[in-house]
Structure 1
Amino acid sequence: MPFTVDNALVAQALADRGYTEPTPVQAAVADPALGGADLLVSARTGSGKTVAYGLAMVPTLLDGAERFPGPTTPKALVVAPTRELALQVHRELAWLYGKAGGRVLTCVGGMDPQREKKALAMGADVVVGTPGRLRDHMERGRLITDDLSAVVLDEADEMLNLGFREDLEFILGATPTDRRTLLFSATLPAEIVRLATRFQREAVRIDVTEDDTGHADIDYRALRIAGHEIEKAVVNVLRWYEARAAIVFCATREAVRRLHGALQERGFQVVALSGEMTQADRNQALTSMRDGRARVCVATDVAARGIDLPDLGLVVHAELPNDPEVLTHRSGRTGRAGRKGTAVLLVPHSRRRKAESLLAGAGVVAEWAGAPTAEEIRRLDGERLAADPMLTEEPTEEDLELARRLAEGRSSEELAAALIRYARVGLPSPEELIVPAAERPERRAAAEGPRVDEGAVWFRLAVGRRDGAEVRHILPLICRRAAIPKREIGTIRIGDRETLFAVTAAAAGQVAFAAANGGPGDVPIAPADGEPVAPQRRRFKDDGRPAPAGRPTKPPRRKERHG
């Protein structure tokens, strides 16, 4: 479905930016049938809502005119929770309204208020800002709201979470009562509903969180790692995906500083974003990401909220967030407006249950695996080099002449080796990781299929990691369930929903017997390869040698002490 825009210049701006079809929220909010109604909209982050409300305000601001009349007192106000989101909204609305002559200003904390004062005095069509700074300009008489015809609250739930309720109520109370109010929120808690009831007039409720494929364009991966190797795992994840741009989230400013330094030391083009940085430093970091001078941004949640980086293909949760909503907001930096992206959670063993709870709360399913190893990354580097277009492009005569000179006295293997060394220049070296014990067989199974020791017989137990299974629990469970000593049990491979275990050929019949004679509360056991194993009841002596079939040995009598 193509965009439906009444204004030809705005339509041209969309076409120049490559917008051909609206996202679900854009189609719903910009529907001409809504007229000038107030809107209460639920939409996920990254759904294209800035362009959505920009288009929704076109009839309100232009009223059928082709162009904006020129800088006057503001006609629209957009309120955002953070400086970064406000600056992002400014960039989006500036190009959307630019061809039609619209002037968009920002008023945000951390910027020079005197410069903003002068800009407001020169006139604007739309003002975008954070609640505190907008209120300050209004109280000082610098921001005139008499002619406002539209007010947008972007990420209203986040503004309330950050404590801006009083500022929002002041702003809405100081604007014309006949204004159009568009309220956007990822969730609609009771506080948002009360705010909407108080300041909106018969608002039309639009919910695109169910129809909007907010997670469909994000591939979630949960990687099990050793708890003390987070920095090394981040290095390997960045090297494995080689994304055009990536953002790595940490929980604290100190963690951002530490990881930023570690990545910088290893040769990554990396910048940092944290609350202690000045606005100028933050702007410089984001500019470096946008123009390609930096490819990795290490950030805290607050510093990164609302930022929109082009070609951001990878989000790494180096430290897990505290709730599913933050997980969604973090991951939503990628996979935006139809672009594909990957979100990676680094999960130490002690944080596995928390990670599963976060994923379930966010309504997403992640693929669980181990972190990429140095060997796997080097192999992938070789595959990338072999598929590089430079090896298939038609060489120029100048290229051939240089090639002939280089080939003098050198073999083809030597030249290829030199090419490989050249290709590796500037690539940070992958890290050698300690692969968690439970992860090693899973990685082998994924790559090569099961490996078994000669003569061993494999069985399947119907419990896995999601049931809390660990080797220290599984081993005595097998011994008790199958009535065999632990010396008869070999490798144990714990998966997400089941466990594979190997037993000696001598014990296989006893395990099959236990499997066939389980009670209602017993954990089911079955042959791993589907081939039946003949049940053969057997008891084992203390020296480990099985007793003859049909003549089970009695367990040794325990001596009772009296007295």
Structure 2
Amino acid sequence: MTKFNSFKTFGLSQNMLKVLENKGFFKPTPIQVRVIPFLMKGERDIIGQAQTGTGKTAAFGIPIIEKLKEDATSIQALVLTPTRELALQVSEELESLRGDKNIRILPLYGGQTIRSQLKALTFGADIVVGTPGRIIDHLKRGNIELDSISYLVLDEADEMLNMGFIEDVKEIFRNTNENKQMLLFSATMPTPILKLAKKHMRNHDYISVSQEDLIAEFTDQIWFELTEEQKFEALCRLIDINDGFYGLVFCNTKSDTIAISQKLGERGYAADALNGDLTQDQRENILKKFRNRRLNILVATDVAARGIDVVELTHVINYSLPQDAESYIHRIGRTGRAGKQGTAITFVTPTDSQRFESFIRTVGAEVELKKVPSVKDVINSRTKNFKENIAHIIKTGEYQDLLKLANELLENHHPSVVVAALLKYSFQDTLKEEHYPELDADSSKIDDGKVRLFVAIGNYEGIAPENIPNFLSNRSGISDLKIENIEVFSSFSFVTVPKKQADLLLERFADMHKRNRPFVELAMNNNVRENRKNKNMSRRA
């Protein structure tokens, strides 16, 4: 295994090596070390026991893409996945690996019309990635032929068993040729899966990679001792101090995912919740935004996070301690993937400490206890990162398209004034120490001096962010309102004001109601679910 410490040792083409370098893949993962050489030789079938996130898509994708012909007239490889979400993920990963190679990758799954997929098939496909049910549909209609494929990959076989797809898989096997190379990947190896492999595979090799090994190698594990009330502020500081934070925040309940993502949104973070209450379309839309980095924080339950395979995650945060050691392993194994280093952080309350110690003993991992970053540390880090990012933009010349606007701003103002104004516009007051609450602050407060308020007026009434200060000032009679972080949605808004002024606003609007609720109230005053619903409605509007 130590022989293959670089992708260059696999005998890959320059095209593939360039692709891997551009993706930031320099060191192969254990599953890639074990699988790629076998597939490159093409002599035996493979049964691989590996969890999601071990790099198995690249493990089979790299050698298959390397060995496919560019001038083929029929399907050369079939990859079966249990869900359409995974079919899309795998096809996207394979697409990112093909580089300049002239091959076509086509996902086929339920939810799309047969007609649109048939049209895509008429242009030809070298690799088909599909769900069993949809592949059966196309076989019955005579839309695809699988009797000359070179590779058949069964991904997450145990999930297919759990979802009742094994009979469909067997039917697909019967429609393929005998002289293909087969790969079966499964996190567990139940008896039906082993029987399936024994019946349909030629001489095969068994490869196993433990999630624990991967976690130890690629994931830094950290824990913080906190009270329940301190968790949210600690989360915000950790996001702010880590430039380019891109992570999953795990909670144990649906309501927590909604509440925390809501609070993050109110603080200006690009976050959303992923839980079992979402429709498949809503789930796919959220995941698409997350993969495209329009969201950089996803708050999820364990069940809702199944099947998410994003290799670039920088962090996984256990906001709530998982139920058992196995769930802990699965959660933190979602970062530190594909040879990239990641950080797993766990919040541990005093009541959780004994259970957490049990997890660590079971996993056998080294987990470092740290203190939550101080406010000064966060501000210093953000300032340093900002300077470095600006220096990078200057070095690369990525500012050229904005030079005209910059010169216009400089015509009437001193350069330092313009820069300071731009900094103010960008950061508002977030680089001031008073922006950050104390760790034991109440959940409805931004800090000891500021409060987040809900206001029952929004876009439907023609209100815009710039209108909010005058509206509240005129209605309350408070002339010197200091309002920050204004967010306007379809039927409501959020504002941040000094605590004394917040108390006055609550008092002045005490008798004013809209649809049987206070017109102005604390933002997190048991209205999380309704606010979340309205926020989603405003996004669709």
TM-score interval, smaller chain: 0.5 to 0.7
> Larger % of helix: which?
2
Distance of aligned partners of 1:430 and 1:178 in 2 relative to their CA distance in 1, 3 Å threshold:
farther
Match of 2:30 among 11, 24, 31: 24
Aligned-partner SS, 1:255: helix
| Alpha-carbon shift at residue 105 of structure 1 (Å) | 1.1
Aligned-partner SS, 2:10: coil
Residue 47 (structure 1) aligns with: 54
Distance of aligned partners of 1:135 and 1:362 in 2 relative to their CA distance in 1, 3 Å threshold:
farther
The 5 A counterparts of 1:248-397 are 248-309=249-310, 311-369=312-370, 372=372, 376-385=374-383, 388-389=386-387
Residue 69 (structure 1) aligns with: 72
For residues 489-532 of structure 1, what are the alpha-carbon distances to aligned partners after superposition, in whole Å with 9 as ceiling and x for unaligned?
xxxxxxxxxxxxxxxxxxxxxxxxxxxxxxxxxxxxxxxxxxxx
Task: Give the CA RMSD over aligned residues.
Answer: 4.0
For residues 334-369 of structure 1, what are the alpha-carbon distances to aligned partners after superposition, in whole Å with 9 as ceiling and x for unaligned?
212222211122233333333333344444332234
Residue identity opposite 1:318 in structure 2: Y
For residues 249-291 of structure 1, what are the alpha-carbon distances to aligned partners after superposition, in whole Å with 9 as ceiling and x for unaligned?
2334443333222211221111333444455544443343344
Distance of aligned partners of 1:399 and 1:220 in 2 relative to their CA distance in 1, 3 Å threshold:
farther
| Alpha-carbon shift at residue 303 of structure 1 (Å) | 3.8
Contact 1:110 1:279 in 2 (8 A): no
Instruction: Give distance in 2, aligned partners of 1:226 and 1:110.
Output: 44
Instruction: Give distance in 2, aligned partners of 1:349 and 1:225.
Output: 7
Instruction: Give distance in 1, aligned partners of 2:253 and 2:136.
Output: 29
Residue identity opposite 1:336 in structure 2: R
Residue identity opposite 1:25 in structure 2: I
Residue identity opposite 2:387 in structure 1: P
Residue 541 (structure 1) aligns with: none
For residues 379-427 of structure 1, what are the alpha-carbon distances to aligned partners after superposition, in whole Å with 9 as ceiling and x for unaligned?
321354257536996999989989994779xxxxxx9998986674284
Aligned-partner SS, 2:248: strand
Instruction: Give distance in 2, aligned partners of 1:274 and 1:288.
Output: 16
Residue 116 (structure 1) aligns with: 117
For residues 416-440 of structure 1, what are the alpha-carbon distances to aligned partners after superposition, in whole Å with 9 as ceiling and x for unaligned?
99898667428495443339xxxxx
Residue 185 (structure 1) aligns with: 186
Contact 1:30 1:53 in 2 (8 A): yes
Question: Which consecutive residues of structure 2, in runs of 5 or more, have no partner in the other structure?
Answer: 1-5, 396-402, 442-541
Contact 1:131 1:168 in 2 (8 A): yes
| Alpha-carbon shift at residue 211 of structure 1 (Å) | 10
Residue 156 (structure 2) aligns with: 155
Distance of aligned partners of 1:282 and 1:401 in 2 relative to their CA distance in 1, 3 Å threshold:
same
Distance of aligned partners of 1:401 and 1:304 in 2 relative to their CA distance in 1, 3 Å threshold:
same
Contact 1:47 1:212 in 2 (8 A): no
Distance of aligned partners of 1:426 and 1:340 in 2 relative to their CA distance in 1, 3 Å threshold:
farther
Contact 1:156 1:184 in 2 (8 A): yes
TM-score normalised by the chain length of structure 2: 0.65
TM-score normalised by the chain length of structure 1: 0.63
| Alpha-carbon shift at residue 148 of structure 1 (Å) | 2.7
Residue identity opposite 1:382 in structure 2: N
| Alpha-carbon shift at residue 174 of structure 1 (Å) | 4.2
Residue 512 (structure 1) aligns with: none
Residue identity opposite 1:266 in structure 2: R
Instruction: Give distance in 2, aligned partners of 1:285 and 1:392.
Output: 30
Question: Which consecutive residues of structure 1, in runs of 5 or more, have no partner in the other structure?
Answer: 409-414, 436-563
Distance of aligned partners of 1:38 and 1:383 in 2 relative to their CA distance in 1, 3 Å threshold:
closer
Instruction: Give distance in 2, aligned partners of 1:119 and 1:423.
Output: 45
| Alpha-carbon shift at residue 207 of structure 1 (Å) | 3.0
Instruction: Give distance in 2, aligned partners of 1:235 and 1:391.
Output: 21
